[in-house]
Amino acid sequence: MIGRDIPSLLRTASELGKLPIAGIDLNLGCPAPIVCRKDAGGGLLRNPQYLDQLLGSLREAIPGYFTVKTRLGYGAPDEFNGLLEIFKKHGIDGLTIHGRTVAERYQTPVHPHFVQSAVLEMECPVIANGNVVDLETGLNYLRKTAAAGLMIGRGAIRNPWIFTQFQAAFANTAPPTPTYRDLWDYVMELYEELARETRKFVALAHVQRMKKTLAYITHGLEGDFEFELRRAKTPEEFHRICKTHLDRGGIIPVRPPVGSKLFCGFETLARNEMG
């Protein structure tokens, strides 16, 4: 759930409770200005007293799993210590931490040290999130924090094989190594799947949506794929450009380029420093 008004959130929780849901998660991480301006998402982190009251009300009303997804604070990472006291107080069932502040948006490395402090202090499982782009960054995030697990966003859009790669790493077997042709199959599946879930399909708008999603995938791949795709307007152009660049063997490099703006700061997770 995302919102700020306690009665509205309670009403939503009650409606959700009538469905066969696994649990309810509260979003305290969204940095979008339109959300934060309304004091929802990450905006709630600016008002710890109100957050305390909100979490207390929701915990009391939600009989099942109630989890929280948060950033480290609004303006500075050391706000997290105060927030942690609030999270500890309300007996939540899980805490996922995107290891940046709202102000840092996506433009810095994550700060594993604060996630580690939550792991030590919280009674519930703590999940580490932010900048996991491959096995090395994920395994290092786990090593640095001792978190119960990882949540992976953009890295999984880029490389959906990342989950089987982690399973293989945990089982001590060889991780799958997808090829450009596998990536092509995935992009085509994504095209069809997102088209199916679109209420009113408009081909040109769908190409624009695909281009936004594919920015995470094509970023830093060799050749002109990223450049050409940005200029695609029609489904025919989109498919032709994908075929030109992806209809071939060769193992895809899953890691984005170092210094990338789209995956900013992941390289420090791959190193052995805390941040």
Q: Does 98 sit near ligand FMN (CB under 6 A)? A: yes
Q: Does 256 sit near ligand FMN (CB under 6 A)? A: no
Q: Which of residues 132-151 bind ligand FMN (CB under 6 A)?
A: 132
Choose one: 152-160, 184-192, 198-206, 236-244; the region binding ligand FMN (CB under 6 A): 152-160
Q: How far is the CB of 180 from ligand FMN (least distance, A)?
A: 23
By beta-carbon proximity to ligand FMN, the closer residue of 154 and 245 is: 154
Q: Does 129 sit near ligand FMN (CB under 6 A)? A: yes
Q: How far is the CB of 207 from ligand FMN (least distance, A)?
A: 18
Q: Does 69 sit near ligand FMN (CB under 6 A)? A: yes
Planar angle of CA 249, 243, 166, nearest 5 degrees: 50
Q: Does 108 sit near ligand FMN (CB under 6 A)? A: no
Question: Is 264 marked active-site?
Answer: no
Q: How far is the CB of 243 from ligand FMN (least distance, A)?
A: 26
Q: How far apart are the first and last CA of the chain?
A: 30
Write the binding mask 14 to 53 for ligand FMN: x where contact by CB under 6 A, - elsewhere: -------------x-x------------------------
Altogether, the residues listed in the chain come to a count of: 275
CB burial class (10 A; 0-12, 13-18, 19+) of residue 99? buried
The C-alpha atoms of residue 2 and residue 267 are separated, in whole angstroms, by 31
Q: Does 255 sit near ligand FMN (CB under 6 A)? A: no
Q: Does 265 sit near ligand FMN (CB under 6 A)? A: no
Q: Which residues are catalytic?
A: 30
Enumerate binding residues for ligand FMN (CB under 6 A).
27, 29, 69, 98, 129-132, 152-155
